[in-house]
């Protein structure tokens, strides 16, 4: 039996868990190490709790009412350590351990088939990171205890890399400082550039507000909740402006990162250049824990925007719209257009064309919009708009195009290269593949975000296929809280089968952050011929593999971190 003092500490460190269950108990040595870790981080070591845990204590309590009301609210999930935007990453999919509500109707009574609220894959403990020493302490703890550590910010991660059973998490969400320097000089360099420095917890919605206040443009993601300095940036970083203004990795000027040896390092073009290369596309949670990034700030841009949409799904209209986009894809990509498309809408925008040239370029889409309006198609709308800044556009359209929140879903993606647009036969084949994929998984989206007209300088580590692509295609399949293991596997397989129509006609290339969880040949698909160099850098900075994540560079598929994957 443990001494009373240690038993008391265990009770304190685990917090008020209610009915939260996890098989096994801490060994004495682990308990000592946890206490040491808590001391090193000034007591900011807390117990991990499921987002919906309060509803298993009392479904009618005020705390549960808050959970039910906010179950599909991204801000609430981002601000709660146990919250993930896709709830399967709060569960152990392999065993069924979970603590979920019915996301289709969270106000329904708690699922009766769950006899208790289980921790699933949520970390046993987490550190509320506030300084570099917190990360160094976590690495030291993991080295001594063998307990895995994971890195989590918002929980906006389609591949579950921010959770792992039996782990300690580094929660960077509360690092919120942001500043602008019109003459930022990376440490050790000499040339200044306008730069915005953001700590790891800053999200794009916050960054865009800051940019508007300072009359500058930041190139980022479409979802306001995505972190600016984490997986989005280190995985490449794409958005509606990246065609003409570059990917996130093209625009980052400097990182401050704690590597697994506990050192705070500055990585830029003038020092730790190999680490800078790896962090510019080699994926998050792999080489170190980024606490801060500085990215290029650009002058304000005037946007020409074209919107065509209707309300009721219509297979014929979808086919007509997508055919038009495929026929013009190469031209529009090379002219710098960005945007996003689904089966009932298309939004295209340009930061580099004036209204006259934009109207001429978009004439086919305008004509299509005029036609469906004239035909009286339900909800048919054609909008030709101009916005004075990215922030003004974002505030108008972002709410309708954010990620699904609070649902279980499998996502898959593919980069569609220029070669698929060269001939009439190529384009017909591509359209057919898109429509077949959509028939299986109606959530297919075109993200017109590859840097088609931004060649880059060859210094980033994303797959070079990004530069040769016109579209980044994503699709999803979903399941509810009470799905069986067989049903979950079926949905992952469905997403993979749907994207296979595009895999069959394209090279191996997908966005690492939004790819099939079971992406075949993922090393090539995510990094192309950069993988071997990235693996060498991984082994240099993390020889003990204290950091690891699913399908990351150098991952160990046999790690206990991944016990909850199917």
Chain region(s) in the chain for CATH 3.30.43.10: 4-171
Render pLDDT for 85-103 as a digit per residue (tens, 0 to 9). 999 999 999 999 999 999 8
Chain region(s) in the chain for CATH 3.40.462.20: 303-528
pTM over 0.85: yes
pLDDT at residue 471 tops 70: yes
Class of domain 303-528: alpha beta
How far apart (Å, rounded) are the C-alpha atoms in residues 210 and 217? 10
Chain region(s) in the chain for CATH 3.30.465.10: 178-300+531-562
Render pLDDT for 503-543 as a digit per residue (tens, 0 to 9). 999 999 999 999 999 999 999 999 999 999 999 999 999 99
CATH of region 178-300+531-562, choose from 3.30.465.10, 3.30.70.2740, 3.40.47.10, 3.50.50.60: 3.30.465.10
Mean pLDDT value across the chain: 93
Q: Which residues of 433-470 are buried (b: 16+ CB within 10 A; e: fewer)?
A: bbbebbebbebbbbbbbbbbbbeeeeebbbbbbbbbbb
How far apart (Å, rounded) are the C-alpha atoms in residues 189 and 420? 42
Tokens of 108: 């329904």
Banded pLDDT at 365 (limits 50, 70, 90): very high
How far apart (Å, rounded) are the C-alpha atoms in residues 284 and 282? 7
Render pLDDT for 197-216 as a digit per residue (tens, 0 to 9). 999 999 999 999 999 999 99
Render pLDDT for 289-325 as a digit per residue (tens, 0 to 9). 999 999 999 999 999 999 999 999 999 999 999 999 9
Give kind and range of the element (H or E) at residue 382.
Answer: strand 381-387
Q: Which residue has the tokens 């580094």?
A: 170
CATH code for the structural domain at 4-171: 3.30.43.10
Torsion angles phi and psi, residue 212, rounded to 5? -60, -40
Tokens of 406: 């609070």
pLDDT for residue 9: 36
How far apart (Å, rounded) are the C-alpha atoms in residues 247 and 221? 10
Render pLDDT for 165-201 as a digit per residue (tens, 0 to 9). 999 999 999 999 999 999 999 999 999 999 999 999 9
Length in residues, the chain: 566
């Amino acid at each position: 039996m443990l001494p009373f003092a240690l038993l008391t500490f265990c009770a304190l460190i685990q917090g008020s868990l209610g009915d939260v269950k996890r098989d096994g108990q801490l060994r004495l040595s682990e308990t000592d190490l946890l206490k040491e870790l808590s001391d090193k981080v000034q007591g900011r070591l807390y117990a991990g709790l499921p987002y919906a845990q309060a509803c298993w204590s009392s479904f009618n309590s005020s705390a549960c009412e808050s959970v039910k009301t906010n179950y599909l609210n991204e801000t609430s999930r981002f601000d709660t350590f146990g919250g993930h935007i896709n709830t399967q990453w709060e569960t152990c999919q392999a065993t069924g351990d979970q603590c979920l509500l019915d996301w289709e109707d969270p106000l329904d009574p708690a699922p009766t088939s769950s006899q208790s609220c289980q921790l699933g894959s949520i970390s046993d403990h987490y550190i509320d990171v506030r300084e570099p020493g917190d990360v160094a302490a976590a690495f030291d703890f993991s080295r001594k205890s063998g307990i895995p550590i994971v890195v989590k910010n918002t929980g906006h991660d389609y591949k579950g890399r921010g959770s792992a059973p039996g782990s300690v998490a580094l929660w960077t969400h509360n690092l919120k400082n942001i500043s602008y320097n019109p003459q930022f000089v990376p440490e050790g360099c000499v040339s200044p550039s306008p730069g915005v420095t953001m700590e790891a917890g800053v999200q794009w919605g916050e960054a865009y507000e800051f940019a508007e206040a300072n009359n500058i443009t930041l190139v980022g993601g479409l979802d306001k909740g995505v972190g600016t300095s984490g997986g989005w940036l280190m995985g490449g970083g794409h958005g509606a402006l990246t065609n003409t203004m570059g990917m996130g990795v093209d625009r980052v000027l400097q990182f401050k990162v704690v590597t697994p040896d506990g050192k705070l390092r500055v990585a830029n073009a003038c020092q730790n250049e190999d680490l800078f290369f790896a962090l510019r596309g080699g994926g998050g949670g792999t080489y170190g824990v980024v606490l801060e990034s500085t990215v290029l700030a650009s002058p304000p841009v005037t946007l020409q925007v074209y919107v065509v949409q209707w309300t009721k799904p219509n297979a014929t209209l979808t086919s007509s719209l997508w055919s038009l986009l495929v026929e013009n894809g190469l031209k529009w990509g090379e002219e710098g257009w960005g945007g996003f498309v689904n089966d009932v809408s298309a939004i295209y925008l340009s930061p580099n064309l004036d209204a006259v040239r934009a109207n001429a370029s978009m004439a086919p889409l305008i004509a299509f919009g005029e036609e469906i309006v004239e035909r009286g198609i339900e909800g048919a709308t054609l909008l030709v708009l101009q916005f004075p800044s990215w922030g003004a556009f974002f505030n108008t359209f972002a709410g309708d195009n954010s990620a699904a929140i609070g649902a279980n879903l499998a996502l898959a993606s593919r980069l569609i290269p220029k070669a698929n647009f060269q001939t009439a036969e190529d384009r017909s084949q591509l359209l057919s593949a898109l429509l077949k994929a959509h028939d299986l998984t109606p959530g297919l989206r075109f993200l017109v975000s590859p840097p088609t007209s931004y060649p880059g300088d060859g210094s980033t580590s994303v797959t070079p296929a990004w530069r040769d692509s016109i579209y980044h295609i994503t699709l999803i399949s979903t399941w509810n809280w009470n799905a069986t293991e067989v049903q979950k596997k079926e949905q992952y397989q469905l997403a993979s089968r749907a994207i296979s129509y595009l895999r069959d006609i394209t090279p191996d290339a997908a966005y690492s952050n939004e790819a099939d969880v079971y992406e075949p040949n993922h090393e090539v698909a995510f990094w192309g011929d950069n993988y071997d160099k990235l693996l060498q850098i991984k082994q240099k900075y993390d020889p003990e593999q204290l950091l690891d994540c699913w399908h990351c560079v150098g991952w160990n598929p046999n790690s206990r971190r991944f016990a909850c994957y199917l």
